């Protein structure tokens, strides 16, 4: 495979998806999976990670709410974000983040999907719960899921700040969002791995930024 240089996540992918051949054993597959992971990790624009951390840090310090959403594996990351950003960042700091995963309430999601439409399951919740100045973190490997796109569009119209975690070509989500954390890769597992890593890195960075050097040394992250 031809490697993509670090920081070039805005380019369209020119190489084939991984895997592009059949493997005889899991060890060989695992080795190439990790190689693809490392290649894809190098496409992350670290300035976008900095911008996302700054935006979320400002929200947590200012008492604004943060909402996360996603489908499938991305829904699991949205739920995990609520855990690590609500509980994790609060541990040992002066911050009390207000974080809600819009993917976690199956009763609400199925009611909206059944009565209105699945494309509205996140935007409808934002309309009921969010306020101007809040933040939406929308997670989508493809960047094209209709309910993710609609939530970002609603947030933009209603003065919420937005972060999109995307993979593949990532459009249109990465174009709509204020901050795009993009992984240039066409393997869902690798993209989701790196979205999870980005979420963890941001949470841990914000946490340690509110701790003393001694407290950091004594803590477990």
Structural contact between residues 81 and 199, judged by C-beta atoms closer than 8 angstroms: yes
What contacts 25, CB < 8 A, 6 or more positions away?
Answer: none
Cis amide leading into 206 (omega within 30): no
Instruction: Name every residue whose Cβ is closer than 8 Å to that of residue 11 and which is 6 or more positions away in sequence.
Output: 4, 184
pLDDT of residue 148: 98
CB atoms within 10 A of CB 39: 18
| CB contact at 8 A, 165 and 134 | no
| pLDDT score at 180 | 97
**pLDDT score recorded for residue 19:** 96
Q: Which CATH architecture has domain 45-218?
A: 3-Layer(aba) Sandwich (3.40)
Domain ranges of the chain: 45-218
pLDDT at position 53 is 98
Question: pLDDT tens for residues 158-198?
Answer: 999 999 999 999 999 999 999 999 999 999 999 999 999 99
Output the pLDDT for position 3. Answer: 33
Look at residue 13 in the predicted model and tell me its pLDDT.
54
Low pLDDT (below 50) residues in the chain: 1-12
CA–CA separation, 57 and 134 (whole Å): 12
């Amino acid at each position: 495979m031809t490697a993509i240089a670090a920081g070039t996540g805005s380019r369209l992918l020119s190489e084939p998806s991984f895997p592009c051949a059949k493997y005889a054993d899991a060890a060989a597959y695992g080795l190439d999976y990790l190689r693809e992971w490392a290649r894809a990790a190098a496409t992350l624009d670290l300035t976008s990670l900095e911008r996302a951390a700054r935006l979320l840090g400002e929200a947590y310090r200012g008492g604004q709410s943060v909402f996360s959403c996603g489908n499938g594996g991305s829904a699991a990351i949205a739920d995990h974000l609520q855990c690590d950003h609500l509980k994790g960042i609060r541990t040992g700091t002066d911050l009390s983040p207000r974080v809600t995963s819009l993917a976690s309430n199956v009763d609400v999601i199925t009611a909206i999907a059944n009565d209105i439409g699945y494309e509205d399951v996140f935007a409808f919740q934002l309309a009921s719960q969010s306020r101007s100045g809040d933040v939406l973190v929308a997670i989508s490997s493809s960047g094209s899921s209709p309910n993710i796109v609609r939530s970002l569009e609603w947030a933009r119209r209603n003065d919420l700040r937005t972060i999109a975690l995307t993979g593949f070509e990532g459009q249109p989500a990465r174009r709509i969002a204020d901050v795009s954390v993009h992984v240039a890769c066409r393997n869902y597992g690798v993209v989701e791995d790196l979205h999870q890593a980005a979420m963890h890195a941001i949470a841990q960075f914000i946490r340690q930024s509110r701790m003393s050097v001694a407290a950091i040394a004594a803590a477990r992250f």
